[in-house]
Amino acid sequence: MSVRRVIDLLRSGEPKQAATVQGWVRTKRELKNFSFLEINDGSSLQGLQVVLDQKLPDYADLLRSLTTGASVSVSGVLVASQGNKQRIELHAETLQVWGESDSETYPLQKKRHSFEFLRTIAHLRSRTNTLGSVFRVRNTCSQAIHQFFQERDFLWVHTPIITGSDCEGAGEQLAVTHFNPQQIPLTEAGDVDYGQDFFGKPTYLTVSGQLEAEAMALAFSNVYTFGPTFRAENSNTSRHLAEFWMVEPEMAFCDLQGDMDLAEAFLKHIFKTVLDHCAEDMEFFNLRIDQSVLETAEQIVNQEFERISYGDAIATLTKANHPFEYPVEWGLDLQSEHERYLCEELFKKPVIVTDYPKEIKAFYMRLNDDGKTVAAMDVLVPKLGEIIGGAQREERLDVLEQRILAQGLSLEDYWWYLDLRRYGTVPHAGFGLGFERLVQFMTGMANIRDVIPFPRTPLNAEF
């Protein structure tokens, strides 16, 4: 008895082969002398059609237990399918029901369910067509990311999740503590005595592994992170999660040009891999979720990204005969409507905007010679806007110190980050990609909570 995955049988099963499949019943159709089951094992969107002849022992009992959601092992012989929905089907000779699924209470009946409802049964929703496709695409994306970097000799580095620095300023970060909230120890001065907490100081969940990744890049040349990051933003939107995965490559001896080249090659590689490996799932999204998904993916793969400076982008937007809600003015950040106009209306393809005013970007981005802009770059894509944010990092010790102080931060907090500029500093660059934003964009899913298995958002940490 050789067990085979459904996808394998659908692709390469041949008539007259013996086969066993194991999976869950999606649908059952009873005819006069036989019945059809659709068995899904999660390996593909389409299930395998199984034919049950009424001559099977205990046929009537079997049929009763074969409700939607029941788990089975079926052995039999493959036969060319009569219908045109599938190439092959399995004629059952023996069938074992492992676990039944009470049709009175099983929440996933045949009717369509709203994604809101499915979130309340996140432990079962992966058994639906849409979520099944989402998580297969998510897996393929994640492997495409590793493959892209490993082929280029980047090391995957695991930067810390718990961090001692509240680097984005108070409030944005979730705290990690071992204190009993009803017995917070205080110092004599009445302050919280963090010396008694688990790590001996206030600690938070990281918002980015970039600074630590820079330290690793200055030893290994090319590294990337791929791990969870956190934001305590109280944003109940379709695009925010409190816990999400981030990808952050960092390259020594690399400038903004190299950074842009890498980001473009990276996106092209991921989209191409998913189009190649998840064709069925992507077609499903295009049909059922968002009819521009395939076109967008093809565009990312095949079109050279436009590159434009922030200054030129502002000039272009100012001249555009388009009613924007937010003002367009040098020094103000681009809003989503501006980003989308550039991609969707003006260039009709992905756009990389570079060299933003230093005031609207982070302190670690390299100051350009004009003294006003920094070597930042944002990759903008249609429908979404910014999908990647990156920069060449400030590698000059004196300039970096000035930028830290100018932002009201303390040099002491960045002692080790400054050390990287003190000892063997080099031009280096990197970027960050929010993994769930990528999967959301790729699949066309309306809510980001539906592209991560168990979403964490304000007032929600179920499962």
Ranges within 165-204 binding its own copies (CB under 8 A):
174-179, 181-182, 184, 192, 198-201, 203
Residues 376-395 interacting with its own copies (rule: CB under 8 A) = 395
Among 29, 53, 64, 99, binds its own copies (CB under 8 A): 99
Residue recorded with tokens 């409507």: 337
Least Cβ distance, residue 288 to its own copies (angstroms): 18
Among 18, 31, 80, 219, binds its own copies (CB under 8 A): 219
Among 88, 205, 343, 375, binds its own copies (CB under 8 A): 205
Helix (H, G, I), strand (E, B) or coil at 314: helix
Binding mask of the shown chain, residues 100 to 129, with x at each position contacting its own copies by CB under 8 A: xxx--xx--------------xxxx-xx--
Q: What is the SS3 assignment for 384-397?
A: CEEEEEEEEECCCH
User: Which residue lies nearer to its own copies by CB, 324 or 416?
Assistant: 416
Least Cβ distance, residue 312 to its own copies (angstroms): 30
User: Which residue lies nearer to its own copies by CB, 191 or 329?
Assistant: 191
Contact 232, 242 (CB under 8 A): yes
Cα(8)–Cα(19) distance, rounded to whole angstroms? 11
Find the part of the chain contacting its own copies (CB under 8 A) among 228-236, 303-311, 361-369, 398-406.
Answer: 228-236
133 binds its own copies (CB under 8 A): no
Among 39, 76, 135, 431, binds its own copies (CB under 8 A): 135
Torsion, CA 444, CA 450, CA 453, CA 459, rounded to 10 = 150
Residues 139-168 interacting with its own copies (rule: CB under 8 A) = 139, 142-143, 146, 150, 153, 155-164
Helix (H, G, I), strand (E, B) or coil at 443: helix
User: Which residue lies nearer to its own copies by CB, 17 or 126?
Assistant: 126
Q: In sequence order, which residues have a C-beta less than 8 Å from that of residue 460 and are 6 or more positions away?
A: none
Residues 64-83 interacting with its own copies (rule: CB under 8 A) = 69-71, 73
Least Cβ distance, residue 28 to its own copies (angstroms): 13
Among 28, 34, 42, 280, binds its own copies (CB under 8 A): 42
Question: Which letter does DSSP use for residue 103 in this model?
Answer: T
For residue 451, what are the CA distances in angstroms to 24, 143, 439, 443, 462? 22, 16, 7, 9, 16
Burial (0-12, 13-18, 19+ Cβ within 10 Å), 232: middle
Contact 436, 452 (CB under 8 A): yes
460 binds its own copies (CB under 8 A): yes
Find the part of the chain contacting its own copies (CB under 8 A) among 63-71, 260-268, 295-303, 442-450.
Answer: 63-71
Binding mask of the shown chain, residues 403 to 442, with x at each position contacting its own copies by CB under 8 A: -------------xx-xxxxxxxxx---------------
Residues found in the chain = 463
User: Which residue lies nearer to its own copies by CB, 305 or 441?
Assistant: 441
User: Which residue lies nearer to its own copies by CB, 84 or 105?
Assistant: 105
Least Cβ distance, residue 418 to its own copies (angstroms): 10
For residue 406, what are the CA distances in angstroms to 122, 139, 358, 364, 413? 46, 42, 11, 12, 14
450 binds its own copies (CB under 8 A): no
Among 92, 95, 134, 230, binds its own copies (CB under 8 A): 230
Least Cβ distance, residue 441 to its own copies (angstroms): 17
Cα(454)–Cα(437) distance, rounded to whole angstroms? 15
Residues 260-319 interacting with its own copies (rule: CB under 8 A) = none
Question: In sequence order, what are the beta bridge partners of 229?
Answer: 244
Residues 333-372 interacting with its own copies (rule: CB under 8 A) = none
Among 36, 81, 129, 227, binds its own copies (CB under 8 A): 227
Contact 288, 115 (CB under 8 A): no
Structure tokens at 91: 């004629």
Find the part of the chain contacting its own copies (CB under 8 A) among 220-228, 283-291, 304-312, 373-381.
Answer: 220-228
Contact 439, 451 (CB under 8 A): yes
Question: How many residues lie near its own copies (CB under 8 A)?
Answer: 102
Closest CA to 225 of 384, 434, 440: 434
Instruction: Count other Cβ atoms within 10 Å, centred on residue 259.
Output: 27
Interstrand relation of 306-309 and 351-357 (parallel, antiparallel or unpaired): parallel
Least Cβ distance, residue 389 to its own copies (angstroms): 21
Binding mask of the shown chain, residues 234 to 253, with x at each position contacting its own copies by CB under 8 A: x-------xx-x------xx
CA-angle at 146, arms to 167 and 126, nearest 5°: 90
Least Cβ distance, residue 73 to its own copies (angstroms): 7
CA-angle at 381, arms to 378 and 383, nearest 5°: 130
User: Which residue lies nearer to its own copies by CB, 205 or 328?
Assistant: 205
Cα(131)–Cα(327) distance, rounded to whole angstroms? 39
Least Cβ distance, residue 345 to its own copies (angstroms): 35
